[in-house]
Chains A and B, each alone.
Chain A
């Protein structure tokens, strides 16, 4: 599997030669977390002057791998060579000193400091022992201008949009003059023109001999930038191959380990009455503005958009987690001015959060308590405020078995479960009470392919059984293959509704890149 012979000594290389000695080699890296082997013998070579794409589904181990490379996690086993020399005990500090600069999706910015403070964090210029603030300001302005970003160095990071935080993060990494630059889905929240600037920059760095590790799902950009591509699946190295001549279908098969049509079940959508209707919805923090939306019984309705476009906030607002400023939420014809989770649950609407550690589960409590959490007002679980523990146990046990959670031992703490099983515990909440509308927010983040297939099967069963399913996802293939209709959100607004023949990856992507305000309406490719 593309294991290059170890170089005997670091050799100077001409920039751009993809066959040069690797600047960074990993051999058989293993990393375990409680309950899961996140990396299982992964090998990787990165050469100067190449863009090396890391491809894999969520949970395949990409994030763990780049964290090992960046020194955030220590590998449990395996060799890590830099310029052919063992890297030894690597800390984030040492990795940076060696020129390995990561740009994480979860930003490494201190929200309370300004952009320029953050750019220089850990390597502030000094004069006479004090901060040289004038030099910082000048240097920050220079690098931001050089990158062509529209970013004010004096702004506090917490007040910036996600896209601007992403720019600050990239600027921070480049300030260190990296030899290995790690970009983890850098375009997830950038618009087309910002993305163009970033690509230009990447090409320039490649020409200067910087090695670039690029994590992304998006085929067009992988195709445009990538020199070589390494595919991971379930923590294992699947294959490393040159970009030239690889088909998209082949990559998807490598990623998922199965044919596309097998992974995504064929769903018989039979759209029925309107279940959830949102009219002119505007949230108090304006992350959603004037959005109209309808979800019907018997079909899966997808919502796509860039990270931070408001798609997640839309369903959260409908469930009562974001305060509303205007508009209305109608559930089976009944209007709610002030929705709340408790009321929504009583009316048969359930929301499944994307971040199950932060918002879904109490990790130290058992599966039973987590699964019954949203149904403590149900007669089967409690009556008059007193728990019926036997009834609860029976109900949860049956539900957990129906969802194929293994081992179905309901007294285990949820923290001991894998991502897929955690998702099943959260999902169980929708099944222990009568739920008609399911709002899924990035349901497959952090779960393996097997659990994904299980989840898709449950979605199919629910939709064909007449439930209304709303699927918010940043994974385009998922939205495309499972949904009957797809809404696209961009910058807090609903800009398109696609269905039938118009529902293609190209149509959705062109909506993502619509620059609101400069001529293009963002309405192209809109059906109906």
Chain B
């Protein structure tokens, strides 16, 4: 910094000081922790590495991966989406209503999928518009949407699960396993691959990083910041909507309470994976690794019969530890 370092600019943490060793720790730290954790759980409970359990973990992780990917998209722009969980519930109920509605057959299935995803994108677009045009902070904007979706979900369903989904839907999104790979895993992998391409090979993806890196600079450089924000929130909700369809297929009903703790888990997974709340950092890898970590942790604690309440406590500690570690790596003594 040769910028005349007056007090106000002195707080700008410069990543310049980050040594190569730090970036190595960042790259290898989480996978190493994952391996250590798996080893520890295996010692305590050998079933950890059993084939069916591993498959179970991978399927579980693929749901969380989708939600963490969704969260990463908005985290990149210095935002977050608190409405993700209740949006999932709303999409689940809405899609289930269409699926069980008067269309019937393949048309009904198509209507459910398309309608659900369209609603998801619309919810996100509203979030984005409120953030970008009304300049409401992402916290308040998505908090408001959390309430709205909570109301919508129970209003649409009258508080009861919507049962009787067509088999084509549940097979397509849950039971199918082409090449022996379960459908949720395939979907998650496909979405992760597409998102990777989007983030690194398109102007929109680049714009997400630039807007998160420095929104004012992006605006000065002619990046359409508001449109990018709307797109980011819409994409976030769309990905969450895909996850909602998968979860709906798994439970076999449209659930008004499906979203539950998903918001917090998705933020936790993304942050544990290395996405920063300060924007501009993280990507597909962060979401996948973070989701895997959180899922393995939960699975291992289930296997070793750790009380569910203790699990909540452990998750809380892991979140704080992950953020502290991120701070120590990048922020240094500032």
Contacts and interface: CB of A to CB of B under 8 A. Distances in A.
A–B contact with Cβ pairs below 8 Å: the answer is yes
Interface of A: 33-36, 38, 58-59, 62-64, 67, 72-73, 104-106, 108, 321, 340-342, 344-345, 351, 353, 356-365, 369, 373-374, 376-377, 382, 385-387, 389, 413, 415-420, 422, 429, 445-448
A413 B201 contact: no
B21 to A, nearest CB: 15
B216 A35 contact: no
Contacts of A387: 200-203, 205-206
A236 B203 CA distance: 44
A59 B9 contact: no
B175 interface: no
Interface stretch (B12-20, B101-109, B166-174, B245-253): B12-20
Given A34-B14, A359-B220, A364 B281 contact: yes
Contact of B2 (A36, A376, A377): A36
B51 interface: no
B19 to A, nearest CB: 11
B14 A344 contact: no
Interface string B213-257: 110111111111000000000000000000000000000000000
A34 B214 contact: no
Interface string B86-117: 00000000000000000000000000000000
Contacts of A418: 2
A377 to B, nearest CB: 8
19 contacts: A33-B5, A34-B1, A38-B1, A38-B5, A64-B4, A72-B7, A104-B7, A108-B7, A341-B220, A342-B223, A359-B217, A373-B223, A377-B203, A385-B203, A387-B202, A416-B16, A418-B2, A419-B2, A419-B3
Contacts of A63: 4-6
A446 B7 contact: no
Contacts of A365: 209-210, 213, 280
Contacts of A105: 6
A35 B281 CA distance: 21
Contacts of B212: 362
Interface string B181-223: 0000000000000000000111111110110111011111111
B10 interface: yes
B203 A106 contact: no
Shortest beta-carbon contacts, A-B, top 8: A362-B213, A419-B2, A416-B16, A34-B16, A63-B4, A341-B222, A373-B221, A374-B221
B227 to A, nearest CB: 10
Nearest to A36: B2
Where chain B touches its partner, the secondary structure class is helix
Contacts of A374: 221-222
A222 B67 CA distance: 62
Given A35-B16, A341-B222, A382-B203, A67 B6 contact: yes
B225 to A, nearest CB: 10
B281 to A, nearest CB: 7
Interface of B: 1-10, 12, 14-17, 200-207, 209-210, 212-214, 216-224, 280-281
B274 to A, nearest CB: 13
Instruction: Name, among B4, B10, B280, the residue most crowded by chain A CB atoms within 10 Å (CB to CB).
Output: B4
A357 B3 CA distance: 8
Contacts of B224: 342
Contacts of B9: 106, 357
Contacts of A369: 206, 209-210
B4 A353 contact: no
Nearest to A320: B222
Given A365-B280, A387-B206, A415 B5 contact: no
Contacts of A385: 202-204
Nearest to B209: A365
Nearest to A381: B203
A374 B2 CA distance: 24
Nearest to A321: B220
Nearest to B201: A387
A35 B14 contact: yes
Contacts of A356: 3
Contacts of A362: 209-210, 212-214, 217-218, 280
Contact of B213 (A36, A364, A416): A364
A386 B203 contact: yes
A340 B224 CA distance: 10
Given A341-B219, A362-B213, A35 B4 contact: no
Given A63-B5, A385-B202, 8 more contacts: A35-B14, A106-B6, A341-B221, A351-B220, A363-B15, A373-B221, A416-B16, A417-B16
Contacts of B209: 362, 365, 369
A365 B204 CA distance: 16
Instruction: Name, among B14, B16, B204, B213, the residue most crowded by chain A CB atoms within 10 Å (CB to CB).
Output: B16
Instruction: Name, among A58, A357, A429, A445, the residue most crowded by chain B CB atoms within 10 Å (CB to CB).
Output: A357
B201 A35 contact: no
Contact of A363 (B8, B206, B214, B221): B214
B26 to A, nearest CB: 13
Contacts of B200: 387
A358 B222 contact: no
Nearest to B204: A385
Contacts of A67: 5-7, 10
A64 B10 CA distance: 10
A225 B266 CA distance: 62
A369 B218 CA distance: 11
Instruction: Name, among A108, A369, A389, A415, the residue most crowded by chain B CB atoms within 10 Å (CB to CB).
Output: A415
A38 B2 contact: yes
Contacts of B15: 363-364, 413, 415-416
Nearest to A451: B2
A400 to B, nearest CB: 17
Instruction: Name, among B12, B206, B223, the residue most crowded by chain A CB atoms within 10 Å (CB to CB).
Output: B206
